Structure 1
Amino acid sequence: MNQKKTLGIVAGLNRRAAMEVKTRLLALGDDDVSVIMTEDNFKIDPNPVFAVSDRKIFIFNEAELLAEMGADLILVPDFKCGSYIHEIQREIQTPILDMKAALMSQMGEKAPVMGVLDAGNAGDCATGACELSSHLKMVLPTEEENKALDVLREKIRAEGASDEAAQELAAICRRLIESGAEVIIPNCTQFAINTPALQEMGLPVMDVFEAFAKAALAHSTEKLPKPFKLGLIGGLGPAATVDLYDKIVKATPAKTDQEHFKVVIEQNPQIDDRTACLLNGGPDPTIAMYNCAKRLQKDGCDYIIIPCNTAHAFLPRLLRHLDVPFIDMQQTMLDEIQAKFGKDARVGLMATSGTIATGIYGQKADKMGMKMFTPDEDHQASVMKAIYGPKGAKAGYTTGECYDDLYRGAEYLVKTYDCNVLILGCTELPLIFHEQDDFEVAGKKVAIVDPTATLARKCVQIAEATIKERGVR
């Protein structure tokens, strides 16, 4: 038993043509096909600057709607869109079939000489830009006939099919046949609705609506590969968000704009302070973070990241209500440290008091058998001042007092615990210190590890692997 197909028709470009296609689909497809159509009608703007883009956007909006309505295949009974339908298809996973592509799929190897009965597309075919011209021998209207067809097309669009229109078309069809055409293609839906009248006159005019319907029934309904998309909950804080995105861009092995992958940033600086919530019972950021994540999930993101270490304490509350996975900044960084330093790593953590109090770094380090140390109360206050102080990173400073405050915390960890690795465990701190392997402090050279940078590298690694697997960027 065949699975029932739902075919969606973008009807608003020419509702009569859409109904012709629907009638043939239902006749040929029997009970294996259901057809849905959109309701809006396309309004042509006489300004040529907007005419094409308006048409593209209309088709895109209607196609997106049909996909949401459950269409397995989207049909666009329109010849004009053949040259740009790929632009629309690139943004939609549901396959799209346009009139030109449908006709091409129905042509055999020994196709007859085609007379193209069209005003708008004949020029494309004459220059070889039309796909049909590269596969078929074609007879085209003369310049004078094109002008007449141009007028006739608008008349049919306004008044519908008529005997008078059919007679005018027939005269041009006969001239094309005299010039060698064996079959006439009404390469415009306004002309195509006159096909029955032209056939009754004995003219060999192709029923393009039937050909379109046959092509649609035979066409694959397999979804196109989904482009990789990364979601980023931003604003925690704004500068840290910019820093992470900058590092993702720099870590991506791209030589052109198009070789980068898609990133959606849900920037919400109004998310309540995570540290204040964890330490002092301040406002809970859970709902605001969840709303951001839900928006990113709805937008089709494959993974979500958060450029905030303290915010990771809230992830368990979110993940149980979401389907999209998160890339854990802390685990990613600890994995990189272990791979690089092994059992020799003596790690000093410089982070917010909220991050330290939750143990979200320490617990992960313990599971990995990694030695981790934190500043005492006095030096932790210096680290917090570097982040939250009036001349700290969140206030927009990256040098001066904030550097000295952070250095004081680093010096304590190296002197007291002989740390050889220092983690910048708040996403504002890489704005002050920078990732390096030979940072001089307390007479030693230690490695400064930036969780933001390691997260960026992990995102690029996952993105490139996924893109390779799916075959689409």
Structure 2
Amino acid sequence: MSGISGSGYQHSPRYNAVGIIGGLGSVASADVFFKMTRFAAAMPPARRVEILFDQKPFKEADIAGAENAYTNARKLYVFDMVRQFEERCAAAVALPCFISHTFLDELQVEVGLPIVDMLAAIRRHLETRLPKLQRVGVLTSSYVRKKQLFQKYFPADQYELLFPSDAVQHACVMRAVYGAQGIKHGCMSGNTIDLLYEACQDLLRQGAQVILPGMTEVAMVADALIARGIPLIDTNQVYAESVIAYEGVVARQFKIGVVGGVGPAATVDFIGKVIRNTPAEKDQDHIKLVVEQNPQIPDRTQNLVADGPDPTVAIYAACKRLENDNADIIAIPCNTAHAFVERIQAHLSVPIINMLDETVGYVARQYGQPCRIGLLATAGTIASTVYHEAAQRLGMQLVTPAPEQQEQVMQIIYGEHGVKAGFVNDDLRLALIEQIGLLAQQGADVVILGCTELPLLMHQNEAFEVNGKCVPVLDPTEILARRCVSLAQAAG
């Protein structure tokens, strides 16, 4: 049985919907919304999508496209909007703003929804419709020009990008959009069109074969410029069609979700093991982690062996919060908590990596058959038989302490001076070694430290000689950490 349960790593939207981030500015966003709606209406019924349009109060700078414009507020606004569309279960997001596409990569790695790339859509359109095109004129803001956004998508060895002269850029392009009588102020005829026509003529004189609006406001008046004989492409229409037809998935960094607080020290220990097992030369090589540290989750053992409160809802709630934070997998560094995993996994879209299955599988791979596994764990873990079932699935025998020995194990873990009380010392270590020896005398070939507090007293693969036999101990949190790292690396 695999250590991964559930449906896989990709999150699926509950319905086919796309969101449009409005407000950057609102007139051009509405134009893209209209064109998306019109294109969607022509789609076959089975492929029609719901379009979610939303904009919040966002005060742009007077000239947001100025060469040295400050974009921090815009970045945070877009991030918040994408997260809201995530909560509404959209399948993708449209971002009709060329300025915002200059920091698209920064956004995409931090959100779980794919933001449909406007520049990639435009390039695909040109490659399909005008495959022999070489010289491309671009009408965009001074900010986008400075950031060289178009150069990123149209490399110099394939395209020659042409831009208006500096004088034309400021007197015509920027004025037509941001001026007092510009498009952002609702003026989309008369002098506005004259200014953009003059800018287009500048590009045509440079040899442009086609002209791309690199501002959504300019694309709004594409028809007026085309009517004057300008070979201009309505990039808003291109983007609208691309968003409606989008079927991709987000390519984002792998994230491990951790249900923490069960117990707190074991959580820190597990995270340290993930870090130590990750091959990294710099900070950015490490794996993303999100931890839901909730020490108030009811005690698992008290529920399993006594009449303590049921921790199922609390564990499930922690997993759901990790799911909502775009975790790709969930790790629970608590052996006893795995008695509740089967109850909640079917209700999650993210797989919980089963630490017990991983540990028993490790024993089978490393030590083969026959192998008798000794288990030192809480009374709750033993009473739940979750380790017994994992061993039986691989045809292995489990050895557990006698009742009086189990009381000593519980003292090591839960005692007034036990590990959960914050004590990690030689006395506890010696008491643990004694219990390992007793299991070895019962025939154990290897001993699992089946409570995540116990590995705080000794390490993976420490070995003890008992009656001439070498008995290694295994740390399930170490094995779980290695598995999580392996999955992260495999995901790229």
Query: TM-score, with normalisation over the residues of structure 2?
Result: 0.79
The answer to whether the 8 A contact 1:410-1:441 is kept is no
Match in the other structure for 1:120? 142
Change (3 A) 1:417 1:157: same
CA distance in 1, matches of 2:317, 2:148: 54
The answer to whether the aligner puts 1:434 opposite 2:459 as a matched pair is yes
Deviation at 1:28, TM superposition (A): 5.2
Deviation at 1:87, TM superposition (A): 3.5
Match in the other structure for 1:40? 56
- What is the DSSP-based 3-state SS (H/G/I as helix, E as strand, rest coil) of the residue aligned with 1:361? helix
The answer to whether the aligner puts 1:163 opposite 2:190 as a matched pair is yes
The answer to whether the 8 A contact 1:411-1:442 is kept is no
Change (3 A) 1:66 1:127: closer
Change (3 A) 1:57 1:385: same
Alignment counterpart, residue 337 of structure 2, candidates 308, 311, 326: 311
The answer to whether the aligner puts 1:347 opposite 2:373 as a matched pair is yes
- What is the DSSP-based 3-state SS (H/G/I as helix, E as strand, rest coil) of the residue aligned with 2:296? coil
Q: Please identify, of 419-428 and 120-129, the stretch whose mean Cα deviation from structure 2 is larger.
A: 120-129
CA distance in 2, matches of 1:70, 1:366: 41
Match in the other structure for 1:460? 485
The answer to whether the 8 A contact 2:460-2:473 is kept is yes
Matches within 5 A, 1:27-66: 27=38, 30-32=41-43, 35-44=51-60, 51-66=70-85
- What is the DSSP-based 3-state SS (H/G/I as helix, E as strand, rest coil) of the residue aligned with 2:71? helix
> Larger C-alpha radius of gyration, 1 or 2?
1
Change (3 A) 1:8 1:252: same
Match in the other structure for 1:86? 105
- What is the DSSP-based 3-state SS (H/G/I as helix, E as strand, rest coil) of the residue aligned with 2:142? coil
Deviation at 1:154, TM superposition (A): 2.2
CA distance in 1, matches of 2:42, 2:197: 37
Change (3 A) 1:227 1:5: same
CA distance in 2, matches of 1:377, 1:331: 25
The answer to whether the 8 A contact 2:277-2:485 is kept is yes
CA distance in 1, matches of 2:458, 2:148: 63
Deviation at 1:239, TM superposition (A): 1.0
CA distance in 1, matches of 2:149, 2:84: 35
- What is the DSSP-based 3-state SS (H/G/I as helix, E as strand, rest coil) of the residue aligned with 1:347? strand
The answer to whether the aligner puts 1:373 opposite 2:373 as a matched pair is no
The answer to whether the aligner puts 1:356 opposite 2:367 as a matched pair is no
Match in the other structure for 1:153? 177
Note the residue ranges of structure 1 that are not aligned, 5 or more in a row: 468-472
Task: In structure 2, give the amino acid aligned to 1:116.
Answer: V
CA distance in 2, matches of 1:61, 1:303: 24
Superposed CA deviations along residues 374-395 of structure 1, whole A, max 9, x for unmatched, are 3344443332222223332112
Match in the other structure for 1:336? 362
Match in the other structure for 2:94? 75
CA distance in 1, matches of 2:475, 2:134: 67
The answer to whether the aligner puts 1:136 opposite 2:155 as a matched pair is no
Task: In structure 1, give the amino acid aligned to 2:409.
Answer: V
The answer to whether the aligner puts 1:264 opposite 2:286 as a matched pair is no
Q: Which has the higher contact order (CA 8 A, sep 6+)?
A: 2
The answer to whether the 8 A contact 2:210-2:231 is kept is yes
- What is the DSSP-based 3-state SS (H/G/I as helix, E as strand, rest coil) of the residue aligned with 1:265? strand
Q: Please identify, of 284-293 and 124-133, the stretch whose mean Cα deviation from structure 2 is larger.
A: 124-133
- TM-align CA RMSD: 3.7
The answer to whether the 8 A contact 1:436-1:447 is kept is yes
The answer to whether the 8 A contact 1:112-1:182 is kept is yes
Task: In structure 2, give the amino acid aligned to 1:37.
Answer: F
Identity among equivalent positions (%) equals 35
CA distance in 2, matches of 1:249, 1:5: 38
Alignment counterpart, residue 389 of structure 1, candidates 412, 415, 429: 415
Alignment counterpart, residue 249 of structure 1, candidates 275, 280, 283: 275
CA distance in 2, matches of 1:203, 1:319: 59
Deviation at 1:261, TM superposition (A): 4.2
CA distance in 2, matches of 1:419, 1:73: 54
CA distance in 2, matches of 1:370, 1:44: 66
CA distance in 1, matches of 2:431, 2:29: 70
The answer to whether the aligner puts 1:290 opposite 2:303 as a matched pair is no
Match in the other structure for 2:261? 235
- What is the DSSP-based 3-state SS (H/G/I as helix, E as strand, rest coil) of the residue aligned with 2:313? helix
CA distance in 1, matches of 2:401, 2:210: 85
Match in the other structure for 1:17? 28
The answer to whether the 8 A contact 2:183-2:192 is kept is no
CA distance in 2, matches of 1:347, 1:112: 69
Deviation at 1:403, TM superposition (A): 1.7
CA distance in 2, matches of 1:79, 1:13: 10
Deviation at 1:428, TM superposition (A): 0.4
Change (3 A) 1:55 1:330: same
Change (3 A) 1:198 1:239: same
CA distance in 2, matches of 1:169, 1:313: 68
Deviation at 1:436, TM superposition (A): 1.9
Change (3 A) 1:344 1:56: same
Superposed CA deviations along residues 382-436 of structure 1, whole A, max 9, x for unmatched, are 322222233321122222322232233233333x425432221211010002122
- What is the DSSP-based 3-state SS (H/G/I as helix, E as strand, rest coil) of the residue aligned with 2:214? coil
Task: In structure 1, give the amino acid aligned to 2:25.
Answer: N
CA distance in 2, matches of 1:297, 1:125: 35
The answer to whether the 8 A contact 1:116-1:122 is kept is no
Alignment counterpart, residue 209 of structure 1, candidates 220, 224, 236: 236
- What is the DSSP-based 3-state SS (H/G/I as helix, E as strand, rest coil) of the residue aligned with 2:247? coil
Match in the other structure for 1:422? 447
- What is the DSSP-based 3-state SS (H/G/I as helix, E as strand, rest coil) of the residue aligned with 1:436? coil
Task: In structure 2, give the amino acid aligned to 1:145.
Answer: V
- What is the DSSP-based 3-state SS (H/G/I as helix, E as strand, rest coil) of the residue aligned with 1:426? coil
Change (3 A) 1:290 1:164: same
Match in the other structure for 1:470? none
Q: Please identify, of 295-304 and 390-399, the stretch whose mean Cα deviation from structure 2 is larger.
A: 295-304
Aligned length: 462
Query: TM-score, with normalisation over the residues of structure 1?
Result: 0.82
CA distance in 1, matches of 2:358, 2:87: 36
Match in the other structure for 1:105? 124
Task: In structure 1, give the amino acid aligned to 2:195.
Answer: E
Task: In structure 1, give the amino acid aligned to 2:138.
Answer: V
Deviation at 1:27, TM superposition (A): 4.9
CA distance in 2, matches of 1:357, 1:72: 44
Task: In structure 2, give the amino acid aligned to 1:44.
Answer: E
CA distance in 2, matches of 1:319, 1:27: 41
